[in-house]
Amino acid sequence: MAGFLKILFRNLLNGPSTDPYPMGPTFSPQRIRGRAKVDPNLCMGCGMCRYSCTAGAINIAHLPDGSGYTITIWQNSCCRCASCRHYCPTGAMSVTDDWHSAHPEKDKFNRLEQQTIKYTPCADCGALMRPVPAHLAQRLYAENKEIDTEKIRHICPKCRRIEDAKRTARRLLTPAPEPMKAAELTSPRPQDTR
């Protein structure tokens, strides 16, 4: 009896060891997969997330006037698999730690993550397009220092192909350096004379 009272008083002094949820706040475990979210600044409308979504929870619809598109994630269909985040090439898709999903019946069709994203004109030809995110352009063209990544990310795929062809032509038409003279070839290199 004394042991029981000891434990009882110790627990009373320590207070509750469970959260008061749903009457009060609780915590989000680290690395929990909650609500999927799309960053409109990074999304290019490639459709990879829709293609890879195991639950068919993502839709991409073009605006009637062709000025952009709307990407929608149906939260009530999403099974939190994070496949969209895994396959998104730009990092636009993320899975937040918002795991709350209780909602009134009347809201079941309103639980959407939705972004309407507008196209911008290509810097060269004016065709409507989505700019390549800056971090992606820097990675794509990291090995080619002659490319202005800030410019190229604002031109459409067709104009990028034209730019690429021009660069190739310049490279092919640039005269090759003079062949080394026989005397240079036979003279000892500095390290050979040490």
The answer to whether the CB of 115 falls within 8 A of the CB of 41 is no
Residues 90-129 that bind ligand SF4 (CB under 6 A): 90, 92-93, 95
What is the per-residue binding string for ligand SF4 in 22-61, x denoting contact by CB under 6 A?
--------------x-x----xxxxxxx---xxx-xx---
As measured in angstroms, the least distance from the Cβ of 97 to ligand SF4 is 13
Nearer to ligand SF4, 44 or 123 (CB): 44
Provide the 3-class DSSP secondary structure of residue 151. Answer: helix
Q: Which is nearer to ligand SF4, 96 or 144 (CB)?
A: 96
Binding residues for ligand SF4 restricted to 57-96, rule: CB under 6 A: 57-58, 73, 78-84, 88, 90, 92-93, 95
Instruction: Specify the residue, 52 or 162, whose C-beta has the smaller distance to ligand SF4.
Output: 52
What's the DSSP call for residue 71? E
Answer yes or no whether residue 136 interacts with ligand SF4 by CB under 6 A: no
Size of the site for ligand SF4 (CB under 6 A): 27
- CA separation for the pair 110, 98 (Å, rounded): 16
Q: Most distant CA pair in the chain: distance in Å?
A: 104
Shortest Å, Cβ 163 to ligand SF4: 22
Alpha-carbon distance of 57 to 9, in angstroms, equals 51
What residues contact residue 83 under an 8 Å CB cut-off, 6+ apart? 52, 53, 54
SS3 category, 125: coil
Binding region for ligand SF4 (CB under 6 A): 36, 38, 43-49, 53-55, 57-58, 73, 78-84, 88, 90, 92-93, 95
